Amino acid sequence: MKILLVEDEDRLAGVVKEGLVAEGFSVDVVSDGITGLWAATANPYDAIVLDIMLPGINGYDVLKELRGRKVWTPVLMLTAKDGEYDQTDAFDLGADDYLTKPFSFLILMARLRALVRRGAPERPVLVTVGTLVLDPARRAVARGGVPITLTAREYGLLHYLMRNAGDVVSKAQILDNVWDSAYEGSDNIVEVYIGYLRKKLDTPFGLVTLHTLRGLGYRLDPDV
């Protein structure tokens, strides 16, 4: 199995490569975003480990460009919770998984093996739930072709709900996946933003698709 590691911290890259090789992987290492993008498009890999903070272009721009070119190789992002981005951005742009630095090599191995087992099936660019459509590349949302303007937090919450459409998600799950670890306020903030979304997604269209299940959480259903 062949892995591309895009990481500019030489020591970390060396340790990860050594560990992967010991586990039987073939590993190519590059240290900047431009070379990483070239390598990922020019060569077949079973998975890509991609850092965010890279020279040249950052990991999110690399990922966005790969998905735009329909390169569906599974990507595991290395994120920093105190950085500009978080896991929500990673999933928005087409990542398959993420790890927060510092991380356990055993966890990295487990995540990579899971990604390799799943393979790289072509995935739709748009996320669709009924007439509601979200375009991660443009960070745009529309219902029935009518554009809907959302704040960054509303967008992140909607994307999480759409990825879990039909399932009940709790406040705790939403906070873990949409808010960052630095948030120390009340979990009632989730209810507030659910209300904001209802006013934009349902009310203008005479729909009820975003449901509250008391004591359990929230569920987004398709309208058709």
What length is written for the chain? Answer: 224
Predicted confidence (pLDDT) at residue 114 exceeds the cutoff of 80: yes
76/120: higher pLDDT: 76
Identify the CATH number of the domain in which residue 173 sits: 1.10.10.10
pLDDT reading at 16 higher than 90: yes
* Whole-number Å distance between alpha carbons of 4 and 49: 6
Are 41 and 68 found together in one domain? yes
197 in the same domain as 131: yes
Q: Give residue 103's pLDDT.
A: 87
CA gyration radius, the chain:
19
Nearest 5°: the CA angle 63, 46, 11 is 70
- When mean pLDDT is compared across 15-24, 54-63, 123-132, 149-158, the lowest value belongs to 123-132
In contact, 170 and 217? CB cutoff 8 Å? yes
pLDDT, residue 179, reads 77
Q: Distance between CA atoms of 135 and 30, rounded to whole angstroms?
A: 30
Q: What is the mean pLDDT of residues 165-173?
A: 92
Query: How far apart are the C-alpha atoms of 85 and 52, rounded to whole Å?
Result: 8
Q: Which two tokens stand for residue 192?
A: 């507030």
Query: What is the CATH classification number for the domain harbouring 28?
Result: 3.40.50.2300
Mean pLDDT of 154-172: 91
**How high is the pLDDT of residue 117?**
81
Closest CA to 65 of 103, 45, 99, 94: 94
Q: How far is CA 193 from CA 47, 131, 197, 199, 210, in A?
A: 35, 21, 6, 10, 12
From CA 92, how far away is CA 136, in angstroms rounded?
5
User: At which of 93, 118, 143 does a domain end?
Assistant: 118
Tell me the residue ranges of DSSP E strands in 16-139: 26-30, 47-51, 75-79, 97-100, 127-129, 132-135
Cα(62)–Cα(33) distance, rounded to whole angstroms? 6
Across-strand partners of 48? 4, 75
Q: Assess whether 15 and 113 both reside in one domain.
A: yes
DSSP SS3 for 137: coil
Indicate if 132 and 113 belong to the same structural domain. Answer: no
| pLDDT tens digits along 39-94 | 999 988 989 999 988 999 988 889 888 887 878 889 998 877 555 555 556 666 67
Same domain for 37 and 80, yes or no, is yes
Which range marks the domain in which residue 197 is found?
127-220
- Give the residue from 118, 135, 170 where a domain finishes: 118
Q: What is the mean pLDDT of residues 197-224?
A: 94
Give the residue from 118, 148, 176 where a domain finishes. 118
Burial status of residue 93 (CB atoms within 10 A of its CB: 0-12, 13-18, 19 or more): buried
pTM: 0.58
How many structural domains does the chain have? 2
Check whether 124 has a pLDDT greater than 70: no
| Residue 202 pLDDT level (bands cut at 50, 70, 90) | very high
What pLDDT does residue 116 have?
83
Same structural domain for residues 105 and 34?
A: yes
pLDDT at 122 over 70: no
Same domain, 17 and 37: yes
